[in-house]
Structure 1
């Protein structure tokens, strides 16, 4: 049979259906080549009761017939069904009328486990919603996360952006011989710039590769023979992890890959844009065709890369029926960039609105934790000082709808109470100025939602109205059926706070493992205003319509609940439109005839005397300096046993030790071999970690992973451990999990013994599952949070309840060393043979 056409069951193009036809016969082949574990296609085959086979490369595939029918108009039509659900009508002229798809959430859960639980009707979704409950907004999204990989790559070609050699190597892209020679010559020149660098080995190589570039248009258009291989790899780098749930560190890496296209610079070696119609991806070709056509449109022909991004963001929303969007952007609080960014916004959005009908507004976003704290010796208060100086200057710009506090939720929001107080002061001048706070995204700090509202309340004077406040996520709080939960809902409702929910990002970022525990229906039943967002849908393989379908099919929202959310949207849109009109008139009068950029930059500079000291919290110290004499590398000739049981709890939860747990530790200490096993714990001398230290009595090596910045109290506690330490990349205790992955899971096999823990422990476990090297993970069945996480990792987790698990742990360690010994023996034999 000859190839006929191709389509995809998901928006990320991970579930591929190739169609083949011979006369009136049609067959299909379903593949998932971006998913290496095979879980996705295995679970899908089982769900649809279809057999698996293998292609020539040994990858799992599903093959089947597509029956031919004749419709009422005597037209031939092929109808593909899976699990008795119509997927598509396929016509002889090549048209494909797709009827159903697989949501990002279902795809993630199928990839994550070997025992998928959702039904076919919860997995393969018909793409329809009632017209009068169709959502029209995306009120929770982020700049640089909205555009699909195909549009970003097309922008990379149109603007001829430079693409780093490091990414070429990292993604194992294939270059033509000419490209390989040219980039190697360029690398040699770049290396000369760093000949006197103090960097060594891998760091120096990375630095050179990061500064050696190929024109992305050249990479694709002058290498079309390899485009079908290269494009899927680049596409995969622009979304979060494929084979299961990701963690925040994965998200940060995705943003770095996206910055090449969303914030990139033009190559110094432009090429003629020829043969672009031959790109083996119709969506990229279609987008690039429109981009090149835009060059002849006077309204768009001089657009910068950023303005082109805004144009395509609005075009994407237009396709999904979205008419109003508020997007968080950290650039809008940066002294050196905010004024020019807003100039570009003013210059392009009227024309974009005229074409698309999409109103795009921005939330100036402050990071809850500065990315440069400690590492670059920039005090935290200086970071917020600049943010607030800039925000106060740009707040009356009509395109600024409000502000946001963003970033991984690994600190108590009460630490930022002084910052929130200043945000409340700024909001008093503008009746509809939104204060949005990311809170309740994970279970580490379940009181953050309530504390956020309290912090806003504390910033008000007597009898002042509560400003427009929105909580981004609001997923984890006190149990809503409890007295504390009821009080929280009263506080939310009485102050008119709006909650924003993003189902796909919660699942894909490891913050939601059981959909039955989602609180949205409870909030709606209690009269609380709720809306939907995407959280930057393209990163998570979703969009506004897919998110609404997920609410409908996976959370079982009914008509009245959907309609209530629509009414909240309508109210917020009306207020935003009124606010924009009023602010535009005032802004134009104040600005006069000077440019937006000049006007705003002058105001920013005029605020330089404000906010001298914002945070007066407990001072933190650089752990690298304080503990310089205690820092030690991990042993390379032993297997690490990571013990979780005290350092990874949220503020409301304390681990309760059991005798069975103590017996398990005693069994390990008595039976394991200190010459082959060492322990790694967190920074807190609590619960099972404390018991391990007491019972060990110096027999086993034990290492502590500590934050990169510590308070005086934390310093004293860590010193009392008297252990060799590893210093984490992150300055917060809850961010320490990232360095277990960096120091251990990505470098070697390991054992995890998890007695208890919250989101940080779950992220650590997920990092181990995602890592290159396999780890054996044992989870205490008595820990409810970890037990829930383990259910989403069926097939990758072993439960334990008592010391009977010790022989299995030790057997894994023995088998690890048997493999090592066998490898050493093979190396020895090969060396003898060579001699």
Structure 2
């Protein structure tokens, strides 16, 4: 057999179909090279009812022959099917007409379980949508999550960006000997700048490597022998994890990898862009060749990286049939960066619109909580006031459609109510200004949808009309049949609020584990306006088309329901286009012959919001107040993480059940305090309190606490006799990230979960994803966590009165011993 060609069954290039010819017969070999667990290909084979084989390296593959057919005109074609789904028509000259693929949701769910339960109709989608129902907008997306990895890689080569040595080493990229000599010589120079640094060890190495760079074009074009594998590794770093669901921590890390390209700086030493036609990846090569053609186009020849990013975002939307998008971006609330961004937008967007017909506008994004993943970044206490100062000016620009509150939903939006008073003043001057709030993305804060509307309504001046409000995600509130749920429906309807749904990001970020609980159909039935977004499609391996197909196929939307969404979207597009035209005229009158920058700077007036950030009021620094009992988790004992009190909805208390405490008693009786320690959250309630009160054997107990605590919480922790680990997160529902860093990524562990909401589900997912390997047990009577456990079948064990925790632990130990002996 001779190699013929290949194609991919998914957007992220994880499922590859290699084609081979033997005379006139065509054969296929399906592989999943980026997935190490084997779950994806096993579940795909099971769903399609196909046998698994192994290649020469012992990796699972699916292989078979593709039948040849002769058409009415005598032409030969090969029709490739999986199960009953026609995947592609393959022509003898190598052309491939692909008709179906695996959506990102199905791929994620197949990857993380040993018992995938969705059927073929929800696993392989035909990629066709009736024209009259096709959505034409992306109303919920984020600037640096839009572009596919291949386009970012091509942009990195074209603009010859600086690529940090830290990422070269982190991704284990292969350089030539000459490249290593050059980059190490540069590293020595950089290291000399840090001789007086207070940093030591790995922290100093990280700092030096972060500031040592290789020209990205050099890395790829002068290293073609390693280019294919290097591109695969870099591509993988630009999307969230593949072998299962991610959590918000993973998303933040991916953004850091993407910033290298999206906010890239060009290398001082440029190279001639030769060998472009030899780049092994066809998509990177094709995009780069087009960029070189654009260099000859007077419309784009002087484009910055940001302007090229906009151009390629618009081109991507055009291919997907999207004609209007609103992109959320935090740059628009930064003083000088926002002015430079808008200057570049005004310069290039008319040209982009002429080519693509796609209108791009922006939402100025403010973080609901400070970003903590960038270790050296210091967020000023008055950052929201600074954001509002800038927003008052940038809101005047016609390309700015409104504002957005972004970030992980781990605080009640009501704590930011003073901010809305200032935004309401902007809306009073500009009734077209959109207020978008990320709300209802997880189940920890079920009041956030109602509180979002309340924040806006209570901030209006007397007689002021309700502004245009959109809520991003809207997955979780109280049951729509309950009194609170009916009240939410009434508020949504009366205030003409639009809900935005992004099903792929919900699944891939661990916020949706059961598709049958999705509320979209009920909202549409109740007359609520609903639209679709992508949430930054490239991050999640999706697209506008895939999102619509996923909504239709996975949630069972009818044509009537899709028509309702299409109608709501069309209304927004029409109103937004009109708003742009009106604001464009007003902005032209404002600027006249003045300098663009001077006009906007003049409109930036200092803002003082009453009460500041209420969430921090009356809170003390945990590191300072508890420093005498802060202690690293001991390495001579095996950590058992106990969930059952600290990881609930803020206002929900854990109900301690007698049958569950018996399981905990047996566990404490079974374990040896000389070999095991417990790690809990900060509330010391529910089963955490039971553990502390019944710790007769003297187990070491560590409590992971947020960076800010009330005096009452500090006093409670001191009296409990626990040791303290302080998280970098200020909010209690964010401390699951510290469990990951302190335990799951570093060492073996166990998790015993009795109760919890999304924060507990995130912690369980982190434990499953972690490098240290963790055994996880979940109390089957906790409905929320049972759903999470079922989505991780084969990795998480359910226990209850009949299937006791200790007996399951003993069985796992025995099975492990038997497996190791064999």
TM over 0.5: yes
1:608 and 2:606 correspond? yes
Q: Matched residues in 2 for 1:715 and 1:533: separation?
A: 42
Question: What are the residue-to-residue correspondences of 1:20-59 with 2, within 5 Å?
Answer: 20-59=20-59
| 1:221-280, Cα deviation, whole Å (9 max, x unpaired) | 111111111111110110011000000000001000000110011112211101111111
Q: Which residue in the other structure is 2:644 paired with?
A: 645
| 1:316-343, Cα deviation, whole Å (9 max, x unpaired) | 0000000000000001001231111111
Flag the 1:612–1:215 CA change in 2: closer, same or farther, 3 A: farther
Q: CA deviation at 1:56?
A: 2.4
1:277 and 2:302 correspond? no
Q: Matched residues in 1 for 2:716 and 2:817: separation?
A: 35
User: Could you tell me whether the CA contact under 8 Å between 1:374 and 1:731 is conserved in 2?
Assistant: no
Q: Matched residues in 2 for 1:374 and 1:24: separation?
A: 56
Question: What are the residue-to-residue correspondences of 1:414-813 with 2, within 5 Å?
Answer: 414-604=414-604, 607-608=605-606, 611=609, 614-616=612-614, 618-697=617-696, 699-802=698-801, 804-809=804-809
Q: CA deviation at 1:722?
A: 2.6
Q: Which residue in the other structure is 2:147 paired with?
A: 147
| 1:546-591, Cα deviation, whole Å (9 max, x unpaired) | 0000011111111111111111111111111111111111111111
User: Could you tell me whether the CA contact under 8 Å between 1:639 and 1:750 is conserved in 2?
Assistant: yes
User: Could you tell me whether the CA contact under 8 Å between 2:28 and 2:66 is conserved in 1?
Assistant: yes
Q: Matched residues in 1 for 2:260 and 2:190: separation?
A: 19
Q: CA deviation at 1:745?
A: 0.5
Q: Matched residues in 1 for 2:92 and 2:326: separation?
A: 43
TM-score after normalising by structure 1 = 0.96
Q: Matched residues in 1 for 2:417 and 2:165: separation?
A: 43
Q: Which residue in the other structure is 1:830 paired with?
A: none
Instruction: Provide the secondary structure at the position in 1 that maps to 2:785.
Output: helix
Q: Matched residues in 1 for 2:690 and 2:116: separation?
A: 37
Q: Which residue in the other structure is 1:829 paired with?
A: none
Q: Matched residues in 2 for 1:611 and 1:670: separation?
A: 54
Q: Which residue in the other structure is 1:321 paired with?
A: 321
Instruction: Provide the secondary structure at the position in 2 that maps to 1:64.
Output: strand
Q: Which residue in the other structure is 2:178 paired with?
A: 178
1:299 and 2:319 correspond? no
User: Could you tell me whether the CA contact under 8 Å between 2:388 and 2:607 is conserved in 1?
Assistant: no
| 1:175-207, Cα deviation, whole Å (9 max, x unpaired) | 111112211222122111112211111111111
Q: Matched residues in 2 for 1:439 and 1:409: separation?
A: 7
Q: Matched residues in 1 for 2:665 and 2:339: separation?
A: 62
TM-score after normalising by structure 2 = 0.97
Q: Matched residues in 2 for 1:334 and 1:652: separation?
A: 35
Instruction: Provide the secondary structure at the position in 1 that maps to 2:429.
Output: coil
Q: CA deviation at 1:614?
A: 3.7
Q: Matched residues in 2 for 1:571 and 1:68: separation?
A: 48
Q: Which residue in the other structure is 2:119 paired with?
A: 119
Q: CA deviation at 1:297?
A: 0.6
Q: CA deviation at 1:816?
A: 8.9
| 1:441-493, Cα deviation, whole Å (9 max, x unpaired) | 00010110011001111012333211100000000110112222122111101
User: 5+ unaligned residues in a row in structure 1: which ranges?
Assistant: 823-835
Instruction: Provide the secondary structure at the position in 2 that maps to 1:144.
Output: helix
RMSD: 1.9
User: Could you tell me whether the CA contact under 8 Å between 1:374 and 1:709 is conserved in 2?
Assistant: no
Instruction: Provide the secondary structure at the position in 1 that maps to 2:477.
Output: coil
User: Could you tell me whether the CA contact under 8 Å between 1:48 and 1:82 is conserved in 2?
Assistant: yes
The worse-fitting range, judged by mean Cα deviation, of 782-791 and 618-627 is: 618-627
Q: Which residue in the other structure is 1:412 paired with?
A: 412
Q: Matched residues in 2 for 1:201 and 1:706: separation?
A: 27
Q: Matched residues in 1 for 2:818 and 2:62: separation?
A: 37
Q: Which residue in the other structure is 1:828 paired with?
A: none
Q: CA deviation at 1:806?
A: 1.5
The worse-fitting range, judged by mean Cα deviation, of 401-410 and 2-11 is: 2-11
| 1:399-457, Cα deviation, whole Å (9 max, x unpaired) | 11000000000001110111122211211111110000000000010110011001111
Q: Which residue in the other structure is 2:345 paired with?
A: 345
Q: Matched residues in 2 for 1:104 and 1:596: separation?
A: 43
Flag the 1:755–1:610 CA change in 2: closer, same or farther, 3 A: closer
Q: Matched residues in 1 for 2:265 and 2:609: separation?
A: 34
Flag the 1:473–1:135 CA change in 2: closer, same or farther, 3 A: same
Q: Matched residues in 2 for 1:670 and 1:718: separation?
A: 25
User: Could you tell me whether the CA contact under 8 Å between 1:505 and 1:534 is conserved in 2?
Assistant: yes
1:335 and 2:339 correspond? no
Q: Matched residues in 2 for 1:417 and 1:687: separation?
A: 31
Off by >4 Å, runs of 4+ in structure 1: 372-381, 609-613, 810-820
User: Could you tell me whether the CA contact under 8 Å between 2:780 and 2:800 is conserved in 1?
Assistant: yes
The worse-fitting range, judged by mean Cα deviation, of 420-429 and 775-784 is: 420-429
User: Could you tell me whether the CA contact under 8 Å between 1:755 and 1:783 is conserved in 2?
Assistant: yes
Q: Matched residues in 2 for 1:533 and 1:738: separation?
A: 27
| 1:137-168, Cα deviation, whole Å (9 max, x unpaired) | 00000011000000000000000011111111
User: Could you tell me whether the CA contact under 8 Å between 1:323 and 1:358 is conserved in 2?
Assistant: yes
Flag the 1:788–1:373 CA change in 2: closer, same or farther, 3 A: closer
| 1:755-797, Cα deviation, whole Å (9 max, x unpaired) | 0100000000000111112110000000000001111001111
Q: CA deviation at 1:698?
A: 6.1
Q: Which residue in the other structure is 1:223 paired with?
A: 223
- Number of equivalenced pairs: 819
Q: Which residue in the other structure is 1:238 paired with?
A: 238
Q: Matched residues in 2 for 1:336 and 1:717: separation?
A: 46
Q: CA deviation at 1:610?
A: 5.1
Q: Matched residues in 1 for 2:342 and 2:599: separation?
A: 11
Q: CA deviation at 1:812?
A: 5.6
Q: CA deviation at 1:21?
A: 1.1
The worse-fitting range, judged by mean Cα deviation, of 203-212 and 592-601 is: 592-601
Instruction: Provide the secondary structure at the position in 2 that maps to 1:557.
Output: coil
Q: CA deviation at 1:720?
A: 2.7
User: Could you tell me whether the CA contact under 8 Å between 1:703 and 1:725 is conserved in 2?
Assistant: yes
Q: Which residue in the other structure is 2:104 paired with?
A: 104
Instruction: Provide the secondary structure at the position in 2 that maps to 1:337.
Output: helix
1:83 and 2:83 correspond? yes
Q: Matched residues in 2 for 1:379 and 1:147: separation?
A: 28
Q: CA deviation at 1:620?
A: 2.7
User: Could you tell me whether the CA contact under 8 Å between 1:374 and 1:708 is conserved in 2?
Assistant: no
Q: Matched residues in 1 for 2:229 and 2:739: separation?
A: 33
User: Could you tell me whether the CA contact under 8 Å between 2:418 and 2:610 is conserved in 1?
Assistant: no
User: Could you tell me whether the CA contact under 8 Å between 2:385 and 2:607 is conserved in 1?
Assistant: no
Q: Matched residues in 1 for 2:548 and 2:812: separation?
A: 45
| 1:272-317, Cα deviation, whole Å (9 max, x unpaired) | 1011111111111111111000001111001100000000000000
